[in-house]
Copies of this chain bind each other. A is one copy, B any other.
Amino acid sequence: MPGPDASAPPPRIQIQRPSPLVDCGRYAAKACVGDAVPVEADIFRDGHDVLRAIVRWRRAGERRWREAPMVRTDAHLDGDRWAGEIAVDACGRHEVTIEAWTDRFASWHDEVRRKVAADQPDLAGELSEGAVLLEAARERASGEDAALIAHALRALTDAEVPQQAKLDAVLGAELLAAVERHPDRQHLTRLAAPLPLDVERPRARFGAWYELFPRSWGGFKGVEKHLDRFAELGFDVLYFPPIHPIGRRNRKGKNNALKAGRNDPGSPWAIGNREEGGHEAIHPELGTFEDFDRLVAAARERDIEIALDFAIQCSADHPWLTEHPEWFQHRPDGTLKYAENPPKRYQDIYNVDWDCEDWPGLWDALLGIVRHWVAHGVKVFRVDNPHTKPFGFWEWLIAEIHRDDPDVVFLAEAFTRRKVMQALAKLGFSQSYTYFTWKNGRHELSEYVSELANTEERFYFRPNFFANTPDILTSYLATGGQPAFEARLVLAATLSPSYGIYSGYESSESVPVRPDSEEYLNSEKYEVKRRRLDGALLPMIARLNAVRREHPALQRVEGVTFLDTHNDGLVAYAKQQAGDTVLCVVNLDPHNANEGVAVVPAHLGLAPSFAVEDVLGGERYDWRIGPNYVRLAPGERQAHVLAVVR
């Protein structure tokens, strides 16, 4: 550390515990275009001098920094936490730093003011200090401020002017403000290293997803015919499982049978065959590239995006197995390893060998696949099982894509241990699947959502609450009938800014292949369905999606407060953002009516009594701080989504 050998003493001001900071800056925090990002730090120095601090930011590579003031937020608690807000308006990596300096004139001003208040008689020495400070301030200032400062300075240095008049001249608030407008930042202290911040477009945070197998909708042309309806329903993203040719060898049959029948289409995740191609090809039965491009464009006209699945695995017929055998793992006896996690075996799938000698060639080829689809207008990718591939690969791939296309959104489909899911989010995935599907009780929902909203995870982990997926039909849904689907829909759509459903949810499809299995009977993964948009839940979905767009409170995971209900069958929460408040109460029991209260705490800042409107049904109620009676019955009404009337 610097000692007497150094050319200057170490800085007097400490800037500690800056936020947002992820793993000491090893990873970037996340934000979206349009956000006002809070930046905080502990800022203090020895002694009693007055400090000033600002936050500065720029896009990486830009020369000019922008800046905003920071203020001490906990002065009333005698604390040292300072905060400011930065406005980000472009995608890409940003740098954020904090600067602080001692405000010598304000410190002097404060000291002299206190001495005057204490009736200290002789302040000639103090006034001689003030003259030096004002002289310097006058040189920094210009225009009216400079004139004001010069005026005070003349009074201060004129031997004819009595001390009281001198004090009157220099202790005014106007002079202080004039000097403050021209701060002396010569000896400022800066954060040791800038905080990295990755800015993405708002869709990375907020959106309603619908997952569909295009082969069940008449291919790309069939999907295109439904676009107007999807737009009416308020969906932002249509996500397709892999659209590539499907392998023939070891193809799985209906209900995951080891042997496929002659007409079985196979799982879309068994990617590639010799005749039709691999990850950069389209399954001929879905349409042509022309059809695909037209679909993407037509969707975009309706503000809908087509999201593709990026699944790094190959069927036994994938062209890479013959073109690049060096990218696959062979045993010493020459046999090729298929995917397995004993006792499970995935004989229709071969994983690439991340430890192979030509890993650079493999990485480049995989990057090429993503670039290929980006070139076809795909800006959202759902990545299959990223946690079974190297973290370093993803960090590199996402950064490479974002360098040219910072608007590409990556969703991590990892259902695994918490730290692993967090690591994927840290390294760059825009959003992530979650444990939401398995949180059905009041306390586990409250605990999980509160963690996402309030812990350090909020800086980098953006949830996407899928209510079901082709792999996940929970027993709650399988046994709860339509009321269960209503409850989970409301929870997903109001607790998470991004949420999704998979085809059939709107019709409360709920027959598992076996009791206690999360697989669907006659799963669409292994057969073609004839899908239509006619489920009973569609009006509720359309209403929820519209409400989500109207209410900022529903567009962020932060700002959630769980409320006492005096009944564990009811979960209640307030969502708040930018003056907007939505109160939700959901009956978690799909079989029985539940009554209780929603206790609105005073700290939410609502009026003692206030009007709410149920945005699902349109009813108005009078609510108040404290307990509010609620009764919800399956078949009648499963949930309240109550907007506080402003």
The answer to whether A4 touches B364, judged by C-beta atoms less than 8 angstroms apart, is yes
Q: Report Cα–Cα, A589/B332, bound state, in Å.
A: 78
Indicate if the CB atoms of A333 and B16 lie closer than 8 Å: no
Chain B positions within 8 Å of A335 at CB level = 124-125
Give a binary string over A513-538; 1 marks a CB under 8 Å from any B CB, 0 the rest. Answer: 00000000000000000000000000
| Contact between chains at A42 and B392 (CB < 8 Å) | no
Chain B residues closer than 8 Å to A47, beta-carbon distance? 388
Once the chains are docked, how many angstroms separate the CA of A176 from the CA of B396?
36
Q: Are A4 and B363 in contact (CB under 8 A)?
A: yes
Residues of B within 8 A of A11 (CB): 392
Please state if B363 and A3 are interface contacts (CB–CB under 8 Å).
yes
Given contacts A80-B420, A342-B111, contact A2 B396 (CB under 8 A): yes
Q: Using a CB-CB cutoff of 8 Å, which residues 102-149 of chain A contact chain B?
A: 111, 114-115, 117-118, 120, 124-126, 128-129, 131-132
Give CA–CA (A48, B339) in the complex, Å: 12
Q: How far is the CB of A328 from chain B (nearest CB, A)?
A: 13
What is the CA–CA distance of A131 and B42 in the complex, to the nearest angstrom?
58
Inter-subunit contact B332/A78 (CB<8 Å): no
Interchain CA distance A156-B120 in the complex, whole Å? 96
Interface 0/1 of A14-56, CB less than 8 Å to B? 1011000001111000000000000000101111100000000
Q: Given A16-B23, A117-B343, A391 and B2 touching (CB < 8 A)? A: no
| Distance of A244 Cα from B117 Cα, bound (Å) | 36
Q: Could you tell me the distance between the alpha carbons of A598 and B2 in the complex, rounded to whole angstroms? A: 52
Bitwise interface map of A from 337 to 350 toward B, beta carbon under 8 Å scored 1, else 0: 10001110000000
CB of B44 within 8 A of CB of A419, answer yes
Cβ-defined contact, B117 with A9, below 8 A: no
- If A10-B390, A80-B420 touch, whether A343 touches B128 (CB-CB below 8 Å) is no
Contacts of A80 in B (CB 8 A): 417, 419-420
In the complex, A501→B45 CA distance in Å? Answer: 30
Given A44-B420, A332-B131: A342 touches B115 (CB 8 Å cut-off): yes
A569 to chain B, nearest CB (A): 28
- State A399–B14 Cα separation when bound (angstroms): 18
Interface membership of A326, Cβ < 8 A? no
**In the bound complex, how far is the Cα of B125 from the Cα of A111, in angstroms?**
82
Question: Does A605 sit at the interface, judged by CB under 8 A?
Answer: no
Q: What residue in chain B is nearest A127 (Cβ atoms)?
A: B333
Interface presence of A578 (CB below 8 A): no
Indicate whether A165 reaches chain B with its CB closer than 8 angstroms. Answer: no
Whole-angstrom distance between the Cβ of A364 and the nearest chain B Cβ: 5
The number of residues on chain A lying at the interface, defined by a beta carbon within 8 Å of a beta carbon of chain B, is 69
Check B26–A192 contact: CB distance below 8 A: yes
- In the complex, A328→B266 CA distance in Å? 86
Give A369 to B288 CA distance when docked, in angstroms: 85
Residues of B within 8 A of A192 (CB): 26
- Taking a contact as CB atoms under 8 Å apart, the answer to whether B10 and A392 are in contact is yes
| Residue A173 lies at the interface, judged by CB distance under 8 Å to chain B | no
Can you name the residue of chain B whose Cβ is closest to the Cβ of A6? B360
> What's the least CB distance linking A429 to chain B, in Å?
14
- Contact across chains for A354 and B9 when beta carbons are under 8 A apart: yes
**Min distance, Cβ A349 to any Cβ of chain B, angstroms:** 15
Q: How far is the CA of A255 from the CA of B14 in the complex (A)?
A: 37
Contacts of A25 in B (CB 8 A): 24
- CB-defined contacts of A418 to chain B, threshold 8 Å: 79
Most B CB contacts (10 A, CB to CB) among A78, A128, A392 go to A392
Q: What are the residues of chain B within 8 A of A337 when measuring CB–CB?
A: 125
A372 within 8 A of B: no
Query: For residue A4, which residues in chain B have a CB less than 8 angstroms away from its CB?
Result: 359-361, 363-364
Q: A16-B23, A46-B390 are in contact. Are A417 and B79 (CB under 8 A)?
A: yes
| A439 close to chain B: CB less than 8 A | no
Note all chain B residues with C-beta closer than 8 A to A551.
none
Asked whether A471 is an interface residue with its Cβ less than 8 Å from the other chain, the reply is no
Q: How many whole Å from A622's CB to the nearest CB in chain B?
A: 38
* Bound Cα distance A505, B114 (Å): 37
In the bound assembly, the distance between CA atoms of A17 and B46 in angstroms comes to: 31
Contact of A389 with B by CB under 8 A? yes
Min CB gap A519→B, angstroms: 20
Known: A46-B390, A332-B131. A1 touches B395 (CB 8 A): yes
Across-interface contacts of A24 in B (CB, < 8 A) = 24-25
Residues of B within 8 A of A392 (CB): 1-2, 9-12
A300 within 8 A of B: no
B9 A390 Cβ-Cβ under 8 A: yes
A624 contacts B by Cβ under 8 Å: no
How far is it, in angstroms, between the C-alpha of A395 and the C-alpha of B387 when the chains are bound? 43
A-B residue pairs, 6 tightest by C-beta: A10-B392, A4-B360, A118-B343, A114-B342, A24-B24, A128-B333
Residues of A within 8 A of B (CB): 1-5, 9-12, 14, 16-17, 23-26, 42, 44-48, 78-80, 111, 114-115, 117-118, 120, 124-126, 128-129, 131-132, 192, 331-333, 335, 337, 341-343, 354, 359-361, 363-364, 387-393, 395-396, 399-400, 417-420, 423
18 contacts between A and B (CB under 8 A): A3-B396, A5-B360, A10-B392, A11-B392, A12-B390, A14-B423, A44-B420, A46-B387, A46-B389, A78-B417, A79-B417, A79-B418, A80-B419, A125-B337, A126-B331, A128-B332, A131-B332, A132-B332
